A and B are shown apart, each in its own frame.
Chain A
Amino acid sequence: MENMIEIKNISKSYHVVKKGEGIKGALKGLVKKEVKVIPAVSNLNFNIKKGEIVGFIGPNGAGKSTTIKMMSGILTPSSGEILIGGKNVKTHRKEVVQNIGVVFGQRSQLNWDLRLGESFELLRHIYRIDKTSFDEMIDTMDEILGIKELQDKPVRQMSLGQRVKGDLVAAMLHSPDVLFLDEPTIGLDISSKYALRKFVKEINEKRGTTIILTTHDLGDIEQLCSRLIIINNGKLVEDGNLEEIVDDIAPYKTLVVEYYDEQIPQHEKCEIISTEGNVAKYRFFKKEITAAKLIEDLGKQKAIKDVSIEEASIDDIIRIAYEGR
């Protein structure tokens, strides 16, 4: 399948004025400015195919939002280039942004003082959407999110959940091929989160929209993302589907075996990480032996009362990826 987004060796650094401490430093800053260059993203490379749902994750300050903003034409990279649908974002900004939708969970593109419907009407003119496709889109969105009952409500009177729904519809009005969701579930209650996930799945399935989302919610990742890109300190750390990353970071499982007495048997293909009375924990590598075989071998040596298998949780995996191995 063709690449929807191509990120070619992009870097972005910010110039920040360094301020001295206390009054002395502040006064010094008035006369002589020390500019510090802070790299936000460095040498990032990846491609995203049409129709993928990609979780773009990383710890706070990793450069996720900066990258999203560069992809959506808001920030320009210091070096490197970004192609969306084959077009360079920097040189063809207007054409590119006509084909993408962006939702920032932390700020709204809806107009605070206008009713939701008026905000949509303004967007209809901004993106030059003809009336029929506009109405069709509102109908489709109404089926997924139930937006019509909110049309006459001023945005300032909406709850966060309603506002995010409004923002999702606003981002989809011009039927973009690419949708960026920057922490869309932040602060949402469970049912709003559920509605958002349903929305993401449906538009991806029905319209083939490519979706890139940043999130700190592991539920979003597990339920939505076919692929994860993990960045930290502005660099790419992991790229692949969830299982691959799990296999890569935690290629082992832990087998907990309870015996009838305290004599614990051993096995050459695994190591005992702890014993407690008649319970032993064995760590084994998935590639070397299967859990069934291991249980069978151990059972031949000693009678087994109970077994359970522990896998590294996504939580742990992500944490390990963030903290670096």
Chain B
Amino acid sequence: MKECVKNQKNEKFNTYLQVYKMQIIRSLTYKFDVYGNIIMQSIIMLASAFFWKALYAGNDSVQGVGVSDMMVYTVVSSMISVVLTTNVERRISNSVSKGTIAIDMMRPVDIYKVFFAENLAGVTTLIFQNLLPILLIGSIFIGVPVPASKEAFLLFVLSLFMSFCINWFIAVIFGMFSFKVIEMDALIQVKKHLIRLLSGSIIPVWFFPESIKNILSFLPFVYLYQLPLDIYIGKYDSASLTKGLIMQALWVVVLYLMFRFFKKKAEDKVMIQGG
């Protein structure tokens, strides 16, 4: 008995780190998806770069942003989309509709921490498999995306971290709906396109009418892409920066609280499909 206790003290367990490691091994099992993703992302990136170049023809700057900044914007936006890849809503809805959620829930773990570790592992592999190739392709065909300044880059990293949190909480809250609504595919698509359109990932929000811009500044979407991108290309002053970062942090907190609230509610809603 004493022996056993000693052993347990000698070994420190980090369950979620192990989940992370195993998930990396798993995501390396299927290599084919990777190439498809690189090609698709590159096409979107190159197409929007050429689109902006054509629009800028003859103009030095639009809304205070020059064509070279716009090119940086396009490349970095593609890179952010890799970091903000999340499959947690699919992970939950698949487990619920196939009934494997029972397996997740019978273990002495917090399932949401497991989902988070799995998501982080997915992003880690994607950084090597997608982000770096996209950076390379972007640098060759469009231009090296240099940040506006050292300070801008550091603030960008901070803002991107919060974007990651916002993105994950939105996804996990969506995922939790599948405890109530079994088929989630359509909803996930709606969410995906809403984010595409309203976050500034393809069209910067500056090009939207003033009134819509105002409304969007209260919604979480612009804090996924627009804010970190603005910071990266140096399109900020101290007032807009403070306001932006505070709003972003606020959304992290609000979404975290919503997550906690729905998590409690979802626990009683669990239904296991198929026997």
On A, residues with C-beta under 8 Å from B are: 14, 65, 69, 72-76, 93-95, 97-98, 100, 102, 104, 106-109, 111, 113-114, 118, 121-122, 125-128, 130-133, 183
Contacts and interface: CB of A to CB of B under 8 A. Distances in A.
A301 to B, nearest CB: 56
Interface string B5-39: 00110110111011100100110011000000000
Given A73-B106, A97-B107, A109-B103, A128 B22 contact: no
Contacts of A122: 18-19, 22
Contacts of A128: 8, 13, 15
A130 B268 contact: no
B120 interface: no
B100 interface: yes
B102 interface: yes
Interface string B74-109: 000000000000000000000000111011011111
A97 B108 contact: yes
Contacts of B58: none
- 6 nearest interchain CB pairs? A125-B18, A130-B7, A113-B26, A128-B13, A94-B108, A98-B108
A69 B108 contact: no
B7 A106 contact: no
B237 interface: no
Contact of B106 (A14, A72, A111): A72
B187 to A, nearest CB: 14
B43 interface: no
Contacts of A109: 103, 106
B268 A125 contact: no
Given A65-B275, A130-B8, A132-B7, A102 B108 contact: no
B4 A130 contact: yes
A126 B272 contact: no
A139 to B, nearest CB: 16
B15 A104 contact: no
B270 interface: yes
25 contacts: A72-B106, A73-B106, A74-B105, A75-B272, A76-B268, A76-B270, A93-B108, A94-B109, A97-B107, A100-B106, A104-B102, A104-B103, A106-B274, A111-B26, A113-B29, A118-B22, A121-B18, A125-B15, A126-B18, A126-B19, A126-B107, A126-B108, A128-B13, A130-B7, A130-B8
Name the interface size band of chain B: 20 to 34
Contacts of A132: 3-4, 7
Contacts of A183: 275
B271 interface: yes
A75 B18 CA distance: 26
Contacts, number: 86
Contacts of A108: 103
B18 A102 contact: no
A73 B102 CA distance: 9
A107 B105 CA distance: 14
A98 B11 CA distance: 18
A98 B106 CA distance: 9
B99 A107 contact: yes
A94 B7 CA distance: 22
A100 B17 CA distance: 23
B60 interface: no
Contacts of A100: 106
A241 B228 CA distance: 68
A100 B108 CA distance: 10
B270 A111 contact: no
Nearest to A40: B271
Contacts of A69: 102, 272
Contacts of B17: 125
B275 A126 contact: no
Contacts of B103: 104, 107-109
Contact of B102 (A94, A107, A114, A127): A107
A174 to B, nearest CB: 9
Given A69-B272, A74-B272, A76-B267, 5 more contacts: A65-B275, A108-B103, A109-B103, A126-B18, A127-B108
B109 A126 contact: yes
A233 to B, nearest CB: 16
A285 B271 CA distance: 47
Nearest to B110: A94
A159 to B, nearest CB: 20
Contacts of B267: 76
Interface string B118-154: 0000000000000000000000000000000000000
Q: Which of B4, B17, B102, B272 has the most CB of A within 10 A?
A: B102
Q: Which of A65, A118, A122, A125 has its CB near the most chain B CB atoms (within 10 A)? A: A125
A102 B106 contact: yes
A176 to B, nearest CB: 11
A130 B108 contact: no
Contacts of A97: 106-108
Interface string B233-275: 0000000000000000000000000000000000110111011
Contacts of A76: 267-268, 270
